[in-house]
Amino acid sequence: MTGQPLCIGFIPLVDAAALIVAVDKGFAAAEGLDVTLVREISWSNVRDKLNIGLFDAAHLLAPVAIASSLGLGHVKVPIVAPFNLGLNGNAITVSPGLHAAIMREISGDPFDPMATALALSRVVATRRKSGAEPLTFGMTFPFSTHNYQLRFWMAAGGVDPDEDVRLVVLPPPYMVDSLANGHVDAFCVGAPWNSVAVDLGVGHILHFVSDILVRAAEKVLAVRHSWSERNPDVVAALIRAHVRAVEYIEDPRHRAEAAHILARPERIGVDADVILRTLDGRLKISPDGTMRESSRYLLVGREGAARPDPVQAAWLYAQMVRWGQASISPEALDVAMAVFRPDLYDAALGLEGNARKAGSDAIGAFAGPAFDASDIAGHLAAFKIGRGKP
């Protein structure tokens, strides 16, 4: 007997691990699902195919799910995220030339994002005086964590991301070639592409995003709201399959096999050792072989990472307001927070009643006040650089 057929899109990134393992280890089939995974190259492709129904579900940037639900930047299609595919996992990688320039200007710990942001501001000022072209930073999408994380970091040091540098959109698999060819001076992207740049000798990992934000919702398993209403049992089955997958991935005994599954050409298509280092939080950050470890580099399922947190959605909405992508309103905030559905997660696992308070600081940013989801305007008023008018 065949299972419920589903078509799900993904981008070749390590934070698609739960989705890929759920399918390739048979956890989805055990829940009565017959899933076909479709590898895509760009987030706009994934969004559009999900929105028009070519995909039943998708590995999706968390801010894209929110933007789609608010009708920002494209058609309005309400999306729900019943499962969080990863917290953190991004990194900022810079060219050898920019790395050397920042290190010449730095005062303090090179792993302190405030120290590097202030150093970047001095590099930017020096370049402006000399008449050099602005630095160019690659990010994956206007409505992306990468965009907001780059902006948050550099603005904390006094660099205006819209006036002092250039931000350009590149699909994740194209980041490394763009850095190698000199088209960008730096980028923010998810694993494994930062490690690929380091292994090729064309980049230095300057920061893990977990230096900038302690917990940052990254990708979600996204479905159309209307589809979820029509298929509640399928949504619950998907959640359970993904929970089994993250338990498998987070078990050290299975990490090597998980890395080999993800490394397959039709999945992520990079060396399994690069993926294993990512899952272990043990990354080479410089072409000279310097290693850095962080237990928070990428959280696939541990520390409650898989359960959607509406406070994370509120923080992402606040960034949209800060950078002029959205206007501020209680109604828009409600829509944004309603994208993340811990109630569906809890119901699928029989865990009702575990909702956390919306006012708690679940973000842990390195600069600015603790985030309060109930006072977006007050939070944004604390930052000097921004486009929005709370």
* CATH, residue 230: 3.40.190.10
**By the 8 A CB rule, do 380 and 325 touch?**
no
Q: Which amino acid, residue 84?
A: N
- Confidence class of residue 293 from pLDDT cuts 50, 70 and 90? very high
Please report whether residue 226 resides in a domain. yes
pLDDT in tens, 193-249: 999 999 999 999 999 999 999 999 999 999 999 999 999 999 999 999 999 999 999
Please report whether residue 72 resides in a domain. yes
Please report whether residue 247 resides in a domain. yes
Q: How many CA atoms lie within 13 A of 34 on its CB side?
A: 5
User: Which pLDDT belongs to residue 104?
Assistant: 97
pLDDT in tens, 85-104: 999 999 999 999 999 999 99
pLDDT in tens, 270-286: 999 999 999 999 999 99
**pLDDT for residue 357 is more than 60:** no
User: Which pLDDT belongs to residue 352?
Assistant: 67
For 12-19, what is the mean pLDDT?
A: 95
Torsion over CA: 343, 347, 350, 352 (sign): positive
Q: How many CA atoms lie within 13 A of 77 on its CB side?
A: 17
What is the domain count for the chain? 1
Please report whether residue 206 resides in a domain. no
Domain containing residue 247: 4-85+216-266+301-358
Strands 79-88 and 298-299: antiparallel
Please report whether residue 296 resides in a domain. no
% of the chain with per-residue pLDDT over 90: 93
Least confident of 29-38, 46-55, 325-334, 352-361: 352-361
Please report whether residue 112 resides in a domain. no
Least confident of 56-65, 198-207, 352-361: 352-361
Mean predicted lDDT score pLDDT of the chain:
94
The pTM of this model reads 0.95
User: Which pLDDT belongs to residue 359?
Assistant: 38
Alpha-carbon gap, residue 265 to 269, rounded angstroms: 4
User: Which pLDDT belongs to residue 361?
Assistant: 57
Please report whether residue 22 resides in a domain. yes
User: Which pLDDT belongs to residue 260?
Assistant: 98
Please report whether residue 352 resides in a domain. yes
Strands 79-88 and 282-284: unpaired
Place of tokens 């359960």: 307
